[in-house]
């Protein structure tokens, strides 16, 4: 498991500036649910079973937003990695072609002066 510092850094990178807005959104959603429940008559007794329901729903909404943001971050990272893998594969192919060309030009067997002159001409090109 990764150290806590790396986990918090990944969380900060995934959520970004939205991590500052999240507590405010949670409180606002809880307050709106609280007002709505009072208007509908559901939250009459402050000591009743529904007293903490708006807060629980707001925290669940905040958790859902965090999970959505982390999923978005992971999907973006995956799409970036696909591009990197494609570039790496192309560079590997290019490197093999380059090695093959170098071995053909510089490791050629010289059997006569004409072959040597042709080899020097190809090497100069």
**55-88 as b/e, with b when 16 or more CB fall inside 10 Å?**
bebbeeebeebbeebeeebeeeeeeeeeeeeeee
What is the residue extent of each domain of the chain? 7-93
Listed residue (60, 1, 22) closest to 10, CA to CA: 1
pLDDT at 1: 60
pLDDT at 108: 64
Percent helix / strand / coil, the chain, rounded to 5: 80, 0, 20
Residue range 11-23, pLDDT digits in tens: 777 777 776 777 7
In the chain, which residues have pLDDT < 50? none
pLDDT at 119: 75
pLDDT at 44: 66
pLDDT at 46: 66
């Amino acid at each position: 498991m990764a150290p806590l510092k790396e986990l918090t850094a990944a969380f900060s990178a995934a959520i970004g500036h939205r991590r500052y807005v999240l507590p405010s959104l949670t409180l606002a959603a809880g307050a709106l649910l609280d007002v709505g429940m009072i208007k509908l008559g559901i939250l009459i007794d402050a000591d009743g079973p529904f007293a903490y329901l708006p807060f629980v729903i707001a925290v669940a909404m905040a958790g859902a937003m965090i999970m959505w943001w982390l999923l978005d971050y992971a999907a973006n990272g995956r799409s970036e990695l696909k591009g990197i893998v494609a570039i790496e594969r192309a560079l590997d192919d290019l490197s093999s072609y380059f090695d093959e060309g170098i071995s053909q030009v510089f490791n050629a067997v010289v059997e006569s002066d004409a072959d040597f002159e042709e080899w020097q001409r190809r090497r100069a090109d």
